[in-house]
Structure 1
Amino acid sequence: MSKKSIILFIILGYSFKSIYAQSTGGIIPFNTKEKVVIDTVKLMVSYELSFLPDSTKKNVILTNQLTLSLGNIYTKLMSSQYYGIDNLQKKAPKGSAFNVEGRGLAATIIYKNKKTNQMEVNVKLTDHNTYRYIESIPKQVWKILNQRKQILNYSCQAATTTYLGRTYTAWFAPAIPIHEGPWKFSGLPGLILDVSDSRGHYVFKCIGLERPKQQEFIEKYKIKFVDTNRKKLNSYIKNLHENFATVLEAQGRHVAFFTPEGKEIDNKKLSYPYNPIELE
């Protein structure tokens, strides 16, 4: 195999450990250079997401830092790593690329439009495409409980729901009359500060709230998308985890993997753990 092919393998071998926001490794970031302002930020909520990329390995817990930006009409959830990334992209030499975190929900941007009741989800995969689907904002059916506890000095009340195959307990703050939360969660009479699934595979914890000291905007990026729907995208991601070499070779991409000793591995026998937040 030529030197060029070996370099190709090293890049792919690293990247495809992070096929989606459900496994390990890095991705080429969203291109945030070109954008359009869609709203003004009224409140920014920071969350830490702890998750299990492999449900059989309970001791391997990974984390993301996520920011929920709340405006008059739009909300936007995005990895906190993208704030300030414009400068890094501008300074990068022409034709070069760098990786950012690709685990958990770090490769996902979610916009909600309260006026149209539409939700837009953007997902960056390590096939270098950015996928987009648009659907109605989901309506979770919540059961509000009597349990209460303090989170960040706010009195919070518990609620439960089952959504896309997982059962969740959320803690919302009635003193913050915003019916939103992390990821796709919404619909409670107060901002959701903490929420976790019953198995502890996905745990969101609020780590801070801030009203911008200067004007901040909610922005959409001018990206070339592959339009799809949620079920098709999840099916494709699952197939990438289970048969990534076969899928990519069907797209005309050659993939080769080697052990540290230089022995080529049968890539058709390789797969990566898949423990998505959406089970349905």
Structure 2
Amino acid sequence: MNRRKIILVLAFIGSSLLASAQYLDPSSLEKAPIINFAETIDSAALKVSYRFTFVRDTLKPDIYTQPDVQTLLIGRKTSKYFSQKFIESTYLSDNIGVCSFEIFKNHPEGQMTVTDIGNEFDLGTNFMYKEEMPVIDWTLTTDTSTVFYIPCRKATAFFRGRQYEAWFASSIPIGEGPWKFHGLPGLILKVSDSKLQILFECTGIQQLAKPEAIAIHRLNYQITTRQELNRLYKEFMDDVVGYSKKHLTELMGQVDNVPPLPYNPIELE
């Protein structure tokens, strides 16, 4: 598809999505094979793809982790953000850089639910925490740019230890974005931090012909808090063997000496 066609399609999405998007009653999706082991909480008419890259090792800032392919599903009340690559690489050995979290904004209403279902850091179980929808104090600027062929406006904010700049499309009047970002007068298409360690960039926007289920996996979760889960991540990365002996009932192989692993979380506070 050439640039002109992309612009026309996206202009149509921006002007018609809220008025004409068709959603399914979540209960009607319960028998869909893809969600046999999940609870459907909403349905999505819009699907946005992002490429996520980040610096895992701050001592080697020029080396980015292999990009992850991530997806934002936008429903009437709830959105879901997750790694598409994780879903597709579940049975593959090459999952470097793949994130295992899933983020549900406004689920339940006014809150955010975050799950870690893939043991990205091999913490030994599945985790879930809920928190109030974070308020991001955005500052709108007059700077403009083009992201994915769409005119965008720049906004900045300090959020949980990092200074960010975001580019949002006013032509798509949806206050959503990748990861935990939200609250701008348009869909966020690109976000990066001031140290150039974090980058989310839109690679595709699709108005779905058939609504897609927004579902949360039915698993045994260890209920925790954001702060406690981040503490466990750091404990694991600092001392893999020590963490495994303390928290895991079964050790994978006879690993006696693992050096500390680089750890550079998105949220620094």
**Same fold? TM cut 0.5:** yes
Q: CA deviation at 1:50?
A: 1.1
Q: Return the letter of the residue paired with 1:65.
A: V
Residues matched between the structures, number: 230
For residues 185 and 198 of structure 1, what CA distance do their matches in structure 2 show? 16
Q: Return the letter of the residue paired with 1:198.
A: S
Q: CA deviation at 1:115?
A: 6.8
For residues 60 and 209 of structure 1, what CA distance do their matches in structure 2 show? 28
Tell me, yes or no, if the aligned pair for 1:33 and 1:221 is still in contact at 8 Å. Answer: no
Q: Which runs of 4+ in 1 moved over 4 A?
A: 97-100, 252-255
Among candidates 36, 42, 47, match of residue 45 of structure 2: 42
Counterpart in 2 of 1:119? 112
1:234 to 1:82, Cα distance in 2 relative to 1, 3 A: closer
1:244 to 1:114, Cα distance in 2 relative to 1, 3 A: closer
Counterpart in 2 of 1:27? none
Matched, 1:279 2:268: yes
Q: CA deviation at 1:32?
A: 6.5
Counterpart in 2 of 1:103? 97
Tell me, yes or no, if the aligned pair for 1:133 and 1:229 is still in contact at 8 Å. Answer: yes
Counterpart in 2 of 1:237? 233
1:135 to 1:244, Cα distance in 2 relative to 1, 3 A: same
Unaligned runs of 5+ in 2: 1-33
Counterparts of 1:1-280 in structure 2, within 5 Å, are 34-62=37-65, 63-82=67-86, 85=88, 99=93, 101=95, 103=97, 106-113=99-106, 116-123=109-116, 124-125=118-119, 126-251=122-247, 252-254=249-251, 256-257=254-255, 266-267=257-258, 270-280=259-269
Q: CA deviation at 1:35?
A: 1.2
Q: CA deviation at 1:38?
A: 1.4
Q: What SS does the aligned partner of 1:36 have? A: strand
1:98 to 1:110, Cα distance in 2 relative to 1, 3 A: same
Q: What SS does the aligned partner of 1:216 have? A: strand
Q: CA deviation at 1:150?
A: 1.4
Map Cα deviations across residues 16-61 of structure 1 (whole Å, 9 max, x no partner): xxxxxxxxxxxxxxx9750122111111000001111101112321
For residues 32 and 128 of structure 1, what CA distance do their matches in structure 2 show? 23
For residues 116 and 37 of structure 1, what CA distance do their matches in structure 2 show? 15
Q: Indicate the RMSD between aligned Cα atoms, in angstroms.
A: 2.2
For residues 76 and 108 of structure 2, what CA distance do their matches in structure 1 show? 10
Identity level (%): 31
For residues 109 and 99 of structure 1, what CA distance do their matches in structure 2 show? 21
Tell me, yes or no, if the aligned pair for 1:196 and 1:204 is still in contact at 8 Å. Answer: yes
Q: CA deviation at 1:139?
A: 0.7
For residues 185 and 60 of structure 1, what CA distance do their matches in structure 2 show? 25
Tell me, yes or no, if the aligned pair for 1:79 and 1:107 is still in contact at 8 Å. Answer: yes
Output the TM-score relative to the length of structure 1: 0.76
Output the TM-score relative to the length of structure 2: 0.79
Q: Return the letter of the residue paired with 1:149.
A: S
For residues 210 and 202 of structure 2, what CA distance do their matches in structure 1 show? 22
Counterpart in 1 of 2:31? none
For residues 40 and 257 of structure 2, what CA distance do their matches in structure 1 show? 48
Counterpart in 2 of 1:19? none
Map Cα deviations across residues 213-233 of structure 1 (whole Å, 9 max, x no partner): 223211111111010000011
Unaligned runs of 5+ in 1: 1-30, 90-96, 258-264
Q: CA deviation at 1:195?
A: 0.5
Counterpart in 2 of 1:22? none
For residues 155 and 57 of structure 2, what CA distance do their matches in structure 1 show? 27
